[in-house]
Amino acid sequence: MFDSLSARLQAVVERLRGKAKVTEADLDVALRDIRLALLEADVNFRVVKDFVARVRERAIGSELLTGLHPGQQVVKAVHDELVNVLGSEPQALRLDGAPTVIMLVGLQGSGKTTTVAKLAVRLRRQGKRPLMVAADVYRPAAIDQLVQLGDQVGIEVHSRPIGTPALEIARSGIEEARQRRHDVVLIDTAGRLHVDEPMMDELVRISGAVTPAETLLVVDAMTGQEAVSVATAFHQRLPVTGLVLTKMDGDARGGAALGIRSITGLPIAFIGTGERTDGLEPFHPDRLAQRILGMGDIVSLVERVQETVDREESERLAERMLDARFTLEDLRSQLRQVQKMGPIGQLLGMIPGAGQLAGAAQQAVDDGQLKRIEAVIDSMTPAERRHPEIIKASRRHRIAVGSGTSTAEVNRLLKQLAEMQRMMRQLGSRGPKAERELGRLFGR
Amino acid sequence: MISRPRREPGGLGLRPPAGGIGARLRAILGIDAPHSEATWDELEEALVAADVGAATALELVEATRAQVGREASAAQIRGALAGEIRDRLARVGSGRFVLGPAPAVILVVGVNGTGKTTTIAKLAARFKGEGHSVLLAAADTFRAAASEQLRLWGEQLGIEVIAQRPGADPGAVAFDALAAAESRGSEVILVDTAGRLHDKAQLMAELSKIRRVIQRRLPEQPRHVLLVLDAVIGQNGLAQAEAFSQHAGVTGIVLAKLDGAAKGGVAVAIADRLGLPILFAGVGEEAGDLAPFDPAAYAEWLLGS
C-alpha cells in the first residue's frame, strides 16, 4: 500500500520517516496534507474536517505498529478510517415484489440510462427476466436511447408514445411486466436537479405509485462538493436505498462517495465503469479507499489479469521478471495477454507506481502499437528473442524489413526492453515484499 | 418534445445558491468589525465548498488579505474577494466570445454527460437569432440515439443536421458537414462529439483526428473548440480542462447546469491556472437557457449577493 501513494501523501510518509516518536506538531503537519489530499479528491469539506479529527484521535492513541514508519502509520490510520466509513461490502439487491421494481434517479448526465442497461444485463446473467422502462419523457431521444440499448443487449424495453406522462409509463411498464412474466422492472427516469421542486415532486409521485424495492441514486464519480446536498435532497424525498457511482474508469478520485456515505449512510451498491453494458462492478470499500487516497487499483488489475492469464505461466513469468531474465518471448506473451484484457493505458494506470515500472513500456505502447511490437518480435529468431544482446545491426535490419517496420522502431523496442529489465532488477532487489506484490500482480 | 414544469429562474437566469457559500459568507462577514484568523479560514472553507479547490481558495484569500487592511470591514473584504475572482476570470477573456467571419466552425467537446448536445442547441438558437445561417454536425456516432437527439433539436429550431449511421467515423461526419456548409453557404457550423473521459488515450486521439479533418478542409478551423463542463464537477475539472486543451486545443469553456445548486468554482481555478476563458453559462434545458459568462456577475453570485 505504501509504495504507491499520491505525491502529497508520499510527502507525509517521507517527512516522518526515521522519527522514533511523533509529536503532536508533526502529526498536525501530516494531517494538514491529508486534509488537502482529501479535498483534492472531492471529499466534502465538512466530512474532511470530522474525518481528520477522528484520524487524529486514532493516530495519537495508538502504539507504533512494528514494521511501519510513523508517516506510514498516519496514512494507514487514514486508510483504515476510510474503509470504516465506506462501509462493509454491500448486500445483494433486494429483489422482493412481483415484479421487483428498481428505480434509477439522479442528476442530468449522471449515467442513469447506461446504468439501467448494465443492471439489466447483470440481472439477466443471474437468471432474471428484466424489463427496462423508458420513463424519461423530457430529454430528446432518451426513449430512443434506451430502446437502442435494449436492442443491443437483447432485453425488452417498455416505452409509450411521446406525450405520455412518466407516471403512466411507469405504471404500464409494471403492468406489461406482470402480463409477460418479467420478474424485474428497471425504471429509467429523467435526470433532474435536486433543487427543482416540480421535478422532484413528480419523482415522488412515481415512486409512490410503483413502490420500488430499490431506488438507486446514480452519482457521477467526478461530482464535487455539492454531492452531499444532492444525495441528501434525493434521500429526504425518496426511499433511496443505494448509490451507483459512475464513470469510475476515469481518473476522478471519487471522494463524493465518501461524503455521501458519511452524511446519509447510503450504501454504495455498484461501481459503473465504461460505456459498455458489461461495465458494472460490485463495490469494494478498500479499493475505493485506495483510490480516494490516490493509490493504484491493484486488486482490480489482478482480477482482470487472473481472468486471462494462465496461472502457471504467470508464476513462471513473475520469477523471470524478478530475476531480470525477462526476454522478448516473455514480452510478446504478455502483450498477447494484454491485448485480450483491454485498453493498455487503463491497465497500466492501475499498477501502483506504473509511472516508474511501466514507464518504458508505456512510452511504446498504446493499442495500435502493440501489433507493431508483436510483428517485430515475430520477425526474430527464437535465439534472438531469448538473447536480444546478439541483435546487431544486420539482424536489426532484417527484422525491420521482415516486420514491415523500421530499424528505428526495432532499436527503440530493444532499448525499452533493456530499461524494463533494469527496472525489474531494481524491483527484484527490493526484497520479499516487492516480490509478493509483483506476484499478486500476475495472479500468484 | 415535452417541456419540464417551469420554475422561477433568478437574475441572469441564475438562482442565488440556496444556503451555501452566500449564506456562510453573510454569516462570517455579517459584522462590521475587524476580523480574526478564523474569519479567513472560514472564507477559505466557503470557497472550497464552491469547488474552487483548496489551492486556489488559499490564493484567493491571501490575495484578498494583501489588499485589505487589518481593520477591514465585512463589505471591504467581500468586495476585495469578489474583485479577485472577477479579475482572474476576466483577464483571460471570460465572457468575450467573438464568432468571427464566416465560416465559423465550433467543435464542442467534453466528458460524458456534461451537456454538449443541449449546449449546441442553445448556441445554434443564439446564432440563428443573431441572423446567421447555422448547420449542425452529429459527430457523436457512438452513443445510442445521439444523432436522433441532435436531429430533434434541429427540427425544433429549424436548423439542418448532418448525420450518418451509428458507428460511422466522426471525422467523416465533420467532413460531410463542412462540404454541406460550403454548398449551402452556412456561416456557423457546430460539431457535436461523443462524450469521452479525458484519460483515455485512444478517445483523445480520435478527437485530435476530428480536429485535423476539419483543419485539412478549412485551414483556419475549427476557430472555436468549446469544452463543456458540468457545474457540479469537482477538482477533476482541472484535469479535464488540461487534457482536452492538450489534445483538442480548447479555446474556451461553457459552464453548464448552473441552474442547479453547484457553483462551478473549479472554473475559477481553470481560468487562473490554464488561462482558459469561461465563455458561456448554461442555466437550463431549453434552447434559450444560455447566457454570455459575466465575470463580475458570477463573482457576486458565487459570494451570494
Quote the CA–CA distance of B174 and B181 in Å, as a whole number.
Answer: 10
B45 touches chain A (CB under 8 A): yes
Å between B90 CA and nearest CA of chain A: 24
User: Interface pTM (ipTM) of the complex?
Assistant: 0.92
Q: What is the domain partition of chain B in residue ranges?
A: 20-90, 104-293
Q: Which pLDDT score is estimated for A320?
A: 61
pLDDT (0 to 100) of residue A438: 44
Cα-based distances in Å from A399 to A149, A165, A372, A404, A405: 46, 66, 12, 8, 8
Q: Residue B115: list chain A partners with CB under 8 A.
A: 108-109
Alpha-carbon gap: B36 to the closest alpha carbon of chain A (Å):
20
CB contact under 8 A, B200 and A346: yes
> CA-CA distance, A330 to A347, in Å (whole number)?
18
If you search the block for the grid coordinates 452566500, which residue do you land on?
B22
Residue B201 contacts A, CB cutoff 8 Å: yes
Grid coordinates given for B187: 456561416
Share of chain A above pLDDT 90, in %: 45
The minimal CB distance from B261 to the residues A36, A198, A229 is found for A229
- Kindly list the strands in the beta sheet with B134-139, ordered across the sheet, starting from the edge strand earlier in the chain: B160-162, B134-139, B188-193, B104-109, B224-230, B252-256, B278-282, B290-292
Cell numbers of B257, please? Answer: 447546469
Tell me the count of A-B CB pairs closer than 8 A: 172
Shortest CA distance from A32: residue in chain B: B54
Cβ pair A250:B198 closer than 8 A: yes
Q: What is the pLDDT of residue B14?
A: 52
Question: Could you tell me which residue, A65 or A104, shows the higher pLDDT?
Answer: A104
Q: Does A359 have pLDDT greater than 60? A: no
Residues in chain B within 8 Å Cβ distance of A219: none
User: For residue B259, what is the nearest residue in chain A, using CA coordinates?
Assistant: A193
> For position A12, what pLDDT does the model report?
74
- Which secondary-structure segment (H or E) carries A186? strand A184-189
Distance in angstroms (rounded) separating the CA atoms of residues A1 and A5: 7
Q: Is the pLDDT of residue A4 over 80?
A: no
Give the span between the Cα atoms of A231 and A241, in whole angstroms: 11
Q: With contacts defined as CB-CB under 8 Å, which chain A residues touch B2?
A: 137-138, 162-163
| A283 has pLDDT over 60 | yes
Confidence bin at A21 (pLDDT 50/70/90): low
Per residue in A382-396, pLDDT (tens digit) is: 888 878 888 888 888
The structural domains of chain A, ordered by start, are: 7-86 (1.20.120.140), 100-282 (3.40.50.300), 299-441 (1.10.260.30)
B133 vs B190: CA distance, rounded Å? 11
The class that CATH gives domain B104-293 is alpha beta
SS3 B17: coil
Q: Write the pLDDT tens digit of every residue in A89-120.
A: 777 888 989 999 999 999 999 999 999 999 99
Closest-CA residue of chain B to A349? B199
The arithmetic mean of pLDDT across residues A206-225, rounded, is 97
Q: Nearest residue of B to residue A273 by CA position?
A: B197
Residue B71: the pLDDT is 78
Task: Give the pLDDT mean for B22-42.
Answer: 65
For A178, residues 6+ apart whose C-beta sits below 8 A from its C-beta are: A98, A99
Closest CB from A40, A137, A225 relative to B2: A137
Q: A68-82, A168-182, A350-364, A426-440 — which is least confidently predicted? A: A350-364
Q: Are A361 and A309 in contact (CB under 8 A)?
A: no
The model's pLDDT over A256-276, given as tens digits with 9 standing for 90+, comes to: 999 999 999 999 999 999 999
Q: How far is B230 from chain A (nearest CA, A)?
A: 9
Helix H or strand E segment including A66: none
For residue A276, give the nearest of A137, A114, A432, A136 by alpha carbon. A114
- Are B3 and B286 in contact by the 8 Å Cβ rule? The answer is yes
Amino acid at the residue B291? A
- pLDDT band at residue A420 under the 50/70/90 scheme: low
User: What is the rounded distance in angstroms from the CA atom of residue B241 to the CA atom of residue A95?
Assistant: 42
pLDDT digit string, tens, across residues A139-166:
999 999 999 999 999 999 999 999 999 9
**Between B170 and A314, where is the model more confident?**
B170
Q: Which amino acid is at B158?
A: G
Average pLDDT over residues B13-25: 53
Q: Looking at the partner chain, which of B113, B145, B257 has a beta carbon nearest the beta carbon of A144?
A: B145
Mean pLDDT across chain B: 90
Segment A62-76 mean pLDDT: 65
Residue A380: pLDDT over 80: yes
Task: List B residues 160-189 in contact with A (Cβ-Cβ < 8 A).
Answer: none
Chain-chain contact of B144 with A145 (C-beta, under 8 angstroms): yes
Q: Which of B85, B59, B114 is nearest to B301 (CA)?
A: B85
For residue B141, give the C-alpha cell: 456516432
The rounded percent of chain B whose pLDDT value lies above 90 is: 77
Residue A430 is predicted with a pLDDT of 46
Residues in chain B with CB shorter than 8 Å from the CB of A190 are 4
Architecture of domain B20-90: Up-down Bundle (1.20)
Residue A423: pLDDT over 50: yes
Split at pLDDT 50, 70, 90, the class of B28 is low
pLDDT over threshold 90, residue B291 = yes
State residue B165's pLDDT score: 94
Q: State how far the Cα of A9 lies from the Cα of A16, in Å rounded to an integer.
A: 11
Which candidate in B52, B153, B232, B268 is best for mutational testing of the A interface (most A CBs within 10 A)? B232
Residue A104: predicted pLDDT: 98
Q: What is the mean pLDDT of chain A?
A: 80
Report whether pLDDT(A172) > 50.
yes
